[in-house]
Structure 1
Amino acid sequence: MNLIRIFVAAALSAAVALPVAAENVWLSKRHDFGAFDENVGTVYCEFKLVNNGAEPISITGARANCGCTRPEYSTKPVAPGDTAVIRVGFDPKGRPGRFSKRINVDCSGEPRRTALTITGT
């Protein structure tokens, strides 16, 4: 009986001592530009990622689903509690009407992949 108690206590102690995995928290995953004239040129927005984990994380990649949308980001590690920013530009030239574009972002923390969306008219 005492052997079981010792085993359970050791297992619980080991579980408590495990490090917390890096966790990505996006402040927003969608941005609506609303209506604008294509003559204004490229429009930009920013998406912010907060590292709520105990280990540094980094953005390892970001790809848009078309050439009119361009994500810009730093690959420098983001310390726990700090924020990373992805700046997304959309070029409306020759693309009148409504649009919805997706940007897939890969990170070293969880979740590994996140889809961001921009929309507008």
Structure 2
Amino acid sequence: MKINILAFCVLLSFAACNNISQKETSTEENTSADGAPVMKFETDVYEFDKIKEGQSVSYDFKFTNTGKTPLIVKDAAVTCGCTVPEIPKEPIAPGKTGVVKVVFNSAGKVGLQDKVVTITANTIPAQTLIHLIGEVVK
């Protein structure tokens, strides 16, 4: 149990460092040099704190296409059937926003959780990761 708590703290530290570095990124770095679309999330980590086993958590990851061409979200892959992502079906025009909705069902899941969704789009790089993080208690 102590190892799980330590691992969770380390993960949160990395997530916090990543969020700080993203906030310090300038506007020029949020556009692609070759005109490719850029998927810029408001946040790429949602911390749901503690929930009881069997509860579901839902979060809308909002993003903006800061590139110069339409952004097409091709896929959202997860490693567990307990997490279901929902991607936009239509292209996102430059300057416009979209949402990737993620639902996590905690049935049969107890302890610290980090549910990773790998989003594939016509961006450079092609894959972007978003996370649902929290703890499921009995």
TM-score by length of 2: 0.69
Q: 2:69 aligns with which of 49, 55, 59?
A: 55
Q: 2:46 aligns with which of 12, 31, 48?
A: 31
Closer/same/farther in 2, CA of residues 106 and 19 from structure 1, 3 Å limit: closer
Residue number in structure 2 paired with 1:75: 89
- 5+ residue gaps, structure 2, are 1-32
Closer/same/farther in 2, CA of residues 25 and 31 from structure 1, 3 Å limit: same
SS of equivalent residue, structure 2 residue 51: coil
Q: Is the 8 A contact 2:114 2:134 kept in 1?
A: yes
SS of equivalent residue, structure 2 residue 43: coil
Aligned length: 103
Shift in Å, 1:21:
2.5
Q: Does 1:119 align with 2:133?
A: yes
**For each residue in 1:27-47, what CA deviation from the matched residue of structure 2 results, as whole angstroms up to 9, or x when unmatched?**
2111111011124x3210111
Name the larger-Rg structure.
Answer: 1
Q: Is the 8 A contact 2:84 2:103 kept in 1?
A: yes
Of residues 88-97 and 21-30 in structure 1, the stretch that sits farther from structure 2 once superposed is 21-30
The letter for the 1-side match of 2:37 is A
